[in-house]
């Protein structure tokens, strides 16, 4: 039995357009004259709402407010984001014989609304959001320790779309899988030396179930 940890934004949830729109709205509310573009996300060393705000030229004293505005806009969205094609079936498949968790810089509330919409709530054993204490690496370790009695220690995977996901996996001594359908370029991901790179959701099956 493996522990399979997914990032949320850009891995399960197709949130790019929402992130760009909400980032711009937050800048506008805060009086920051920055035009938000994809590069503000794709070049981040650490993927979080706080670092996203800094990339959008938000002053440090307003960064926390930028984060709260973005999270609030996600929570108020009438319908949760779409899930990337093929991932619903893959999550369900993995959940049959494995432990599946989510570690994210989004809020647990937003993630749980997304899971409910896509009928995946029963497939996910734990969600560690921005409202949970600790760094991403610490949350990966928390999940591994929580389910240690049920999993093989060498079978822990972190599936992410950012350089910081790869680094967090390495810090937590976990196998890193970088996906190319998310928010950061393949070149940026490769600079973190991930254990695996996948271009399509179905490729996860071969790596995790081999």
How far apart CA 20 and CA 70 sit, in angstroms, is 10
Same domain, 28 and 89: no
- For the chain, how big is the Rg over CA atoms in Å? 16
pLDDT bucket at 191, cuts 50 / 70 / 90: very high
Give 141-154 pLDDT, tens digit per residue: 999 999 988 887 67
Same domain, 69 and 88: no
Structural domain including 21 reads: 16-76
| pLDDT attached to residue 70 | 96
CATH number at residue 117: 3.40.50.1000
How far apart CA 210 and CA 198 sit, in angstroms, is 15
Same domain, 72 and 88: no
Q: In the predicted model, what is the mean pLDDT of residues 15-38?
A: 96
CB 66 within 8 A of CB 26: yes
For the cut 80, the answer to whether the pLDDT of residue 161 exceeds it is: yes
If one counts the domains in the chain, the total is 2
pLDDT bucket at 179, cuts 50 / 70 / 90: very high
To the nearest whole number, what is the mean pLDDT of the chain? 94
pLDDT bucket at 210, cuts 50 / 70 / 90: confident
Same domain, 104 and 188: yes
pTM exceeding the 0.75 threshold for the entire prediction: yes
Same domain, 62 and 92: no
Same domain, 104 and 179: yes
Q: 28 in helix, strand or coil? A: helix
Q: In the predicted model, what is the mean pLDDT of residues 64-71?
A: 96
| pLDDT attached to residue 158 | 98
In the listed set 76, 96, 119, which residue is the last one of a domain according to the structure?
76
For the cut 90, the answer to whether the pLDDT of residue 24 exceeds it is: yes
CB 137 within 8 A of CB 105: no
What percentage of residues in the chain have a pLDDT greater than 90?
Answer: 89
């Amino acid at each position: 039995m493996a522990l399979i940890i997914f990032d949320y934004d850009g891995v399960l949830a197709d949130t790019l357009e929402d992130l760009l729109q909400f980032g711009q709205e937050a800048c506008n509310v805060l009086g920051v004259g920055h035009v938000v573009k994809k590069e503000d996300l794709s070049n981040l060393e650490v993927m979080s709402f706080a670092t996203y705000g800094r990339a959008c030229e938000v002053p440090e004293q307003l960064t926390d407010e930028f984060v709260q505005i973005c999270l609030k806009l996600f929570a108020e969205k009438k319908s949760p984001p779409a899930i990337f094609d093929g991932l619903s079936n893959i999550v369900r498949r993995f959940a049959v014989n494995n432990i599946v968790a989510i570690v994210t810089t989004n809020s647990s509330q937003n993630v749980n609304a997304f899971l409910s919409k896509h009928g995946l709530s029963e497939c996910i054993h734990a969600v560690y959001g921005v409202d949970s204490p600790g760094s991403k690496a610490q949350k990966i370790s928390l999940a591994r320790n929580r389910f240690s009695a049920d999993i093989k220690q060498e079978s822990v995977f972190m599936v992410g779309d950012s350089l910081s996901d790869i680094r967090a996996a390495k810090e937590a001594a976990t196998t890193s899988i970088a996906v190319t359908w998310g928010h950061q370029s393949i070149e940026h991901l490769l600079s973190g030396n991930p254990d695996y790179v996948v271009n399509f959701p179905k490729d996860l099956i071969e790596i995790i179930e081999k």
